[in-house]
Structures are given as C-alpha cells and as structure tokens.
Amino acid sequence: MRTIDEIIVHCTATPAGRHLTVGDIDRYHRERGFDCIGYHYVVYLDGSVHAGRPVDRVGAHCKGHNARSIGVCYVGGLDAAMAPADTRTVAQKRSLIALLADLRQRYPQAAIHSHRDFAPKACPCFDATSEYSSLP
C-alpha cells in the first residue's frame, strides 16, 4: 500500500445543479490522456459517495502530490455565470465530512488540503484546508 499523508479536496468545476458521474469524469480524464479517472472518490449532488480510481493506485489530481495523496472531488464548484463558487449541497457537505473523517481514521497522518493550496486555481471553490482542519 502507498504511504498517504495528504487528502486533497477538489471540485469538478461544473455549474451548480449539473449532474456528473464517475463515468463522465472518467471519459473526460481519458480524453485528456489519463489512463482512468484521476480522483479516488467523487461526491454526487445527492451526497452519495462513489469510488473512482482505486486508492492503492497513484492518483492524477494534483501535480507533485499524487504519489502520496488521495483525491476527493465533489460535483460542482461554479455558479450560473461560470464563476468559482461554493456550490456544495447540504447532502454533499454532510458526505464530505463523513468521507474525510473516515479517511483520516484510516490515514491518521494525512492532512486535508484544498487543491488551491498547491495550484493557481480556485478549486475546490471553498477553503477545505481550514474547514476540515478540526476533523479528528
């Protein structure tokens, strides 16, 4: 198993309310040259959590951090004008907390970060590093 010391939170950079599936993201990532979806988990609008790339495989979600991280992505991140916005539904917020808490139990040494901590992007369109800093 890989050593995991980071959990990196992303968004799909799609408009609020637009449904997207793991299959959709997988197709998009393959079109970009990835061998499969780059994220390990995706949280849908309804709060359901779906597996993406197997956790034992290095992700393709944050340059320079993939080897030692898990990528978690929620569907959304843009408002109707296509500007970055925290579009998480109530269900997504609950599910992200539960998923991240579970991952922290499995990988207690892993710090939770926003993708924007490592790249000049708005992703995940809220401050995940701060918001989840108190998760056990």
Written as tens digits, the pLDDT of the chain (136 aa) is 789 999 999 999 999 999 999 999 999 999 999 999 999 999 999 999 999 999 999 999 999 999 999 999 999 999 999 999 999 999 999 999 999 999 999 999 999 999 999 999 999 999 999 999 999 8
Residue 55 exposed, middle or buried by CB count within 10 Å (0-12, 13-18, 19+): middle
pLDDT value at position 1? 72
The one catalytic residue in 39, 44, 74, 132 is 39
What are the structural domain ranges in the chain? 6-131
8 A C-beta contact, residue 65 and residue 76: no
Q: Does domain 6-131 match CATH 3.40.80.10? A: yes
The bridge status of strand 41-43 relative to strand 69-74 is: parallel
First to last CA, the chain: 22
Told to judge if 113 belongs to the known catalytic residues of this protein, a careful annotator would answer: no
The one catalytic residue in 10, 29, 65, 113 is 10
Told to judge if 123 belongs to the known catalytic residues of this protein, a careful annotator would answer: yes
pLDDT value at position 78? 97
Told to judge if 125 belongs to the known catalytic residues of this protein, a careful annotator would answer: no
